[in-house]
Amino acid sequence: MRLGNYMKRITLIIILVIAGMGIQAQKTLEVGLFGGGSYYIGDLNPGTPFRLTKPAYGLVARLNLSSRWTIKLSGYRGEIAGDDNISKAALNRDLKFQSKLTDM
């Protein structure tokens, strides 16, 4: 029984310390955009970076609760493609694909 009370006290102290860190620090919000390119490395393009590069873009938002705690949300939208006729990875296979990507 004594060990249970000890663990309850330690848990309560940890919760109060974490809550106190959020109250003491000034909260800041950071928002940004990013853009670039996305490409595929795999069976249809085994080793040439930037082949069939497609545009990609995204948004990031971060709320700094304290100097140690942050909440972050980001979203990414892009497209990848692969084509045997362009990469010449496997002759006589004639495979290709194009796929849109969304990541949150």
Question: 46-103, pLDDT tens digit by residue?
Answer: 888 898 999 999 999 998 888 888 889 999 999 999 988 888 877 788 889 999 999 9
Residue 54 lies in a domain: yes
Is 83 part of any domain?
A: yes
Whether residue 96 lies inside any domain: the answer is yes
Residue 15 maps to a domain: no
pTM for the complete prediction? 0.62
Which pairs from 38-44 meet CB under 8 Å and 24+ separation? 38/78, 38/79, 38/80, 38/101, 39/80, 40/80, 40/81, 40/82, 42/82, 43/82, 43/89, 43/90, 43/95, 44/82, 44/83, 44/84, 44/87, 44/89, 44/95, 44/96, 44/97
Which of 6-10, 19-23, 55-59 is the least confident region? 19-23
Task: Give me the domain span that covers residue 39.
Answer: 26-103
* Domain assignment of residue 98, yes or no: yes
Query: How many domains would you assign to the chain?
Result: 1
Residue 14 lies in a domain: no
Residue 44, in any domain of the structure: yes
Highest mean pLDDT: which range of 8-12, 23-27, 67-71, 74-78: 74-78
Structural domain contains residue 12? no
